Amino acid sequence: MERRKFLGVSSISALSLIVGTQGASANHRMGGGGSGSTTTTTTTTSTSSKALPIPSLIRPIDRNGVKHFDLNVNQAQHEFFDGILTNTFSISSTYLGPTLLLTNGDNVSLNYTNNLSEEITMHGHGMHLPAKMDGTPHQTIAPGVTWSAQYNVNQKACTNWYHPHTHHKTPHHVYQGLAGMIIIEDNESNAL
């Protein structure tokens, strides 16, 4: 299997585990957990013929030597099961964000426009970048505002992900669909 195909499939599997874990964690918290309580797990078999949604791989737009990724954070609806629409958050899609392909040495700008009615942040998990571009809880993006993480990519080939890091809302935002993969390539990975 080619590296890019493998990374695409493994990236989706990783995100599914992350989102699934967030959902399981949220469901466990909602179920209580005090003295004498029990937790019951129910498995439901879906009759959906839907294939696993695989986010698109997008390439940047070069503007004066800076590679821009323009990402819109929206309210959306996604059809997980045939004929049933679920309210979600999205990044330029209906659920989850596109996979971003970066190359070691690139000068990049990840431009997040918040079209939600609440504040968010956007954090590059695993990225080596300046603290002021990290998207931590104190770096909120107000509704209707665009925030850009601009930096030079300085790390070897790897797989990372981006997601909100909004104070007390990270699990909810990720579970709603605000997460995507960042794949970094370098000369060694391109030689394969």
How far is the CA of 158 from the CAs of 98, 103, 129, in angstroms?
17, 10, 14
Nearest to 124 by CA among 153, 157, 88, 95: 153
Q: What is the pLDDT of residues 80-136, one digit of tens each?
A: 999 999 999 999 999 999 999 999 999 999 999 999 999 999 988 878 787 777 777
Q: Would 26 be classed as within a structural domain?
A: yes
Cα(27)–Cα(74) distance, rounded to whole angstroms?
24
pLDDT at 190: 66
Q: Would 40 be classed as within a structural domain?
A: no
Cα(106)–Cα(61) distance, rounded to whole angstroms?
12
Q: What is the pLDDT of residues 136-191, one digit of tens each?
A: 778 999 999 999 999 999 999 999 999 898 888 889 999 999 999 999 999 887 66
Q: Would 111 be classed as within a structural domain?
A: yes
Predicted TM-score (pTM) of this structure:
0.73
Q: Residue 80 has which token pair?
A: 């997980």
Determine the residue type at 183: I
> By residue range, what is the domain housing residue 173?
3-30+55-190
Q: What is the tally of structural domains in the chain?
A: 1
Q: Would 108 be classed as within a structural domain?
A: yes
Q: Would 17 be classed as within a structural domain?
A: yes
pLDDT confidence bin for 42, thresholds 50/70/90: very low
Instruction: Compare 11 and 95 and report the one with higher pLDDT.
Output: 95
pLDDT confidence bin for 54, thresholds 50/70/90: confident
Q: Return the CATH number at 81.
A: 2.60.40.420
Q: Which helix (H) or strand (E) holds 30?
A: helix 3-30
Question: Angle at CA 117, nearest 5°, toward 177 and 16?
Answer: 5
Q: Would 20 be classed as within a structural domain?
A: yes
Nearest to 120 by CA among 173, 162, 160: 173
Q: Would 45 be classed as within a structural domain?
A: no
Q: Would 163 be classed as within a structural domain?
A: yes
